[in-house]
Amino acid sequence: MERQKRVLAVHDISGVGRCSLTVALPIISAAGVECSVLPTAVLSTHTGGFTGYTFRDLTDDLLPMARHWADLGEKFDAIYTGYLGSFAQMDMMREIFSLLADEDTLIAVDPVMGDNGKLYAAFDMTFPPAMRALCAYADLIKPNMTEAALLLGEEYRPGPYTKEYVEGLLERLAEATTARRIVLTGVYFNEKTLGAATFDAEAGEIAYVCGENVPGLYHGTGDVFGSALVGAMVRGLTLSEAVRAAVDFTVAAIRTTAKAGTDIRYGVNFEANLPVYMKSLGIL
């Protein structure tokens, strides 16, 4: 039997409001992949739409935890970073990669900073340039349209988009971050479909993977998508197969949530749709 793959997920843990580690753990596990965690902060809820949340910054714990694992000889098939709890953590990630990654490790950086044209509540404008520097260490980056503009220091543009704009963004992102693979989410050319544009430097290819556009801004969908993408890549799917699996799973989770009329702050019902994801990976 083949060795079980393992991912290190580096995100905050928000106790209520499905996102970051409460999403990455179950989804990566459903992919049959072991999910170890390096929590960057502990919050009572995420910062999108709830007020009065608690925030425990874990910056001082990150390097001691990573050094402990390095002493134990731990290695990971992928390191997947998302929401980072402080500015200092972006610098630390490079050391963490060098302690815990080897040449076969997929370094996936989701430059979690904002959505819908706005920077998340806990961040200021010093974050985007530091996040761009972190992206230079990634094999794969997964910005949404807001984060792409922030990484490039450009003004956010609301959609619908043109192919010319999207492909220009991908080219500028490839140049600014040196990432070999880019998955840009929140791409749409009309109100009916929504999906991702991918850039693969090796293949010299830009491709689009679209799904149904369900109206509404559901929280945590970037983390559902990113976790599904990383799980699928580690399972050995190609970039376009992994993006297809992640789009279909995320759309299914949004559709279930929209039907139920749940408050969008609580994230999406990905749980009911884990079988959809597992089928696309050939597990079910």
Closest by CA position to 51, among listed 123, 118, 122, 146: 122
Q: Is 256 in the site for ligand PXL (CB under 6 A)?
A: no
Q: Is 266 in the site for ligand PXL (CB under 6 A)?
A: no
- List the one residue from 31, 43, 78, 252 that touches ligand PXL (CB under 6 A): 43
Q: Is 223 in the site for ligand PXL (CB under 6 A)?
A: yes
Gap between the terminal Cα atoms of the chain: 18
Q: According to CB under 6 A, which residues from 8 to 37 bind ligand PXL?
A: 12, 14, 19-20
- List the one residue from 24, 27, 28, 48 that touches ligand PXL (CB under 6 A): 48
Alpha-carbon Rg for the chain in angstroms: 17
Three-class DSSP category at 57: strand
Q: Is 264 in the site for ligand PXL (CB under 6 A)?
A: no
Q: Is 83 in the site for ligand PXL (CB under 6 A)?
A: yes
Cβ 50 vs Cβ 23: under 8 Å: no
Q: Is 147 in the site for ligand PXL (CB under 6 A)?
A: no
- Tokens at 149, concatenated: 């503009």
The set of residues, in sequence order, having a beta carbon less than 8 Å from that of 175 and lying 6+ positions away, is none
Three-class DSSP category at 155: coil
- Tokens at 204, concatenated: 């010299």
C-alpha to C-alpha distance for 170 and 217, rounded to whole angstroms: 23
- Tokens at 91, concatenated: 């610098």
Q: Is 257 in the site for ligand PXL (CB under 6 A)?
A: no
Q: Is 112 in the site for ligand PXL (CB under 6 A)?
A: yes
Tell me the angle at which helices 145-152 and 127-135 cross, rounded to the nearest 10 degrees: 100
Q: Tell the smallest beta-carbon distance from residue 69 to ligand PXL (Å).
A: 23
Q: Tell the smallest beta-carbon distance from residue 50 to ligand PXL (Å).
A: 9
Q: Compute how many residues bind ligand PXL; rule: CB under 6 A.
A: 14
Q: Is 226 in the site for ligand PXL (CB under 6 A)?
A: no
Q: Is 269 in the site for ligand PXL (CB under 6 A)?
A: no
Q: Is 40 in the site for ligand PXL (CB under 6 A)?
A: no
Cβ 113 vs Cβ 131: under 8 Å: yes
Q: Tell the smallest beta-carbon distance from residue 190 to ligand PXL (Å).
A: 26
Residues that bind ligand PXL (CB under 6 A): 12, 14, 19-20, 43, 46-48, 83, 112, 120, 220, 222-223
